Amino acid sequence: MKTTKIEWTDKTWNPITGCTKISAGCANCYAEVMFKRLQAMKQDKYKNGFTLTMHNDVLDEPIKWKKPHTIFVCSMSDLFHENVPFVFIDKVMETIKSTPQHNYQILTKRASRMAEYFSDKSIPENAWLGVTVDIASSKSRIDFLRNLNAPIKFLSCEPLLEDLGDMNLDGIDWVIVGGESGVRARPMKEEWVTNIKVQSEKQGSAFFFKQWGTWGSDGIKRNKKANGKLINGKVYQAMPTL
Ligand code: SF4
């Protein structure tokens, strides 16, 4: 059963919560907004606010899920945050390795730290690794990812904040694109999306368009549901093949 609203995954697992901003896309961080709500609901796990916190008590959570799931790791943080000790990441990887019935999606903006972590460790066969590319200057993260031996390597271009220009997608299996939502959302232009779609198709990466967000393809601000997820009347939500 799908227990998250994130379209390209079906479960979330948060052994770490809280973060600090590192990228243009962090300005209206979804996790930070969610934190305020969860804190107001007095949920114990979120009592520290957005301060980075490790949760040893949920490290074995996926072991209890017997049915196979596609699990997004750390939707409320960044696993490779500089304050997460490698020994804690080791524990996360142990759980991933011990649950081959699941696939795990690990997305980071700290691409160099992810590469450093895996420089002397094997990547679990069920761990998909991804980096966020929200502005053109963050394309350097792709090079750190490309050199890693993960079964699936993916990009999340969300929120897409400017034209990314030419992209080298060699070795990249999957590209997700989406616009920002919320009251402070920044607009995304249709030509920025088309540029990535065309390059993904040419270079053989599966292309997944999540949503326009608060700004429609026509450049008008309205409800994100009304703006939808069509590009020229079609849904593009390809998944990578293992
Ligand atoms: S890296 Fe992710 S979780 Fe951390 S502040 Fe940025 S958007 Fe939020």
For 188-227, write each residue's pLDDT tens digit.
999 999 999 999 999 999 999 999 999 999 999 999 999 9
The finding on whether 31 has its CB within 6 A of some atom of ligand 1 is yes
User: Mind listing the pLDDT tens digit for each residue in 22-34?
Assistant: 999 999 999 998 8
Q: Which domain holds residue 29?
A: 1-133
Ligand 1 atom showing the smallest separation from residue 22 Cα = 6
- 2 pLDDT more than 80: no
221 - beta bridge partners? 215
Domain closes at, from 133, 162, 194:
133
The finding on whether 109 has its CB within 6 A of some atom of ligand 1 is yes
155 - beta bridge partners? 131, 175
Going by pLDDT thresholds of 50, 70 and 90, the confidence category of residue 48 is: confident
Please tell me the distance between residue 49's alpha carbon and the centre of ligand 1 in angstroms.
14
**pTM of the predicted model, to two decimals?**
0.94
- 93 pLDDT more than 70: yes
Q: Say if 74 falls within a structural domain.
A: yes
* C-beta of residue 122 within 8 angstroms of C-beta of residue 212: no
66 and 112 in a single domain? The answer is: yes
Q: What is the pLDDT of residue 9?
A: 77
- Which residue's alpha carbon is nearest to atom 6 within ligand 1? 26
119 and 229 in a single domain? The answer is: no
Going by pLDDT thresholds of 50, 70 and 90, the confidence category of residue 41 is: confident
117 and 180 in a single domain? The answer is: no
The finding on whether 52 has its CB within 6 A of some atom of ligand 1 is no
Going by pLDDT thresholds of 50, 70 and 90, the confidence category of residue 6 is: low
Q: Between 151 and 3, whose confidence is greater? A: 151
The finding on whether 79 has its CB within 6 A of some atom of ligand 1 is no
Please tell me the distance between residue 19's alpha carbon and the centre of ligand 1 in angstroms.
6
Task: Please state, for a pLDDT cut of 70, what percent of the chain lies above it.
Answer: 97
Ligand 1 atom showing the smallest separation from residue 110 Cα = 1
Q: Say if 145 falls within a structural domain.
A: no
- Which residue's alpha carbon is nearest to atom 5 within ligand 1? 21
What is the C-alpha separation between 10 and 4, in angstroms, rounded?
Answer: 6
Going by pLDDT thresholds of 50, 70 and 90, the confidence category of residue 42 is: confident
Ligand 1 atom showing the smallest separation from residue 76 Cα = 3
Count of domains observed in the chain: 2
176 and 59 in a single domain? The answer is: no
Give me the chain's average pLDDT, please: 95
Please tell me the distance between residue 28's alpha carbon and the centre of ligand 1 in angstroms.
9
Handedness of CA 109, 112, 116, 118 (dihedral sign): positive
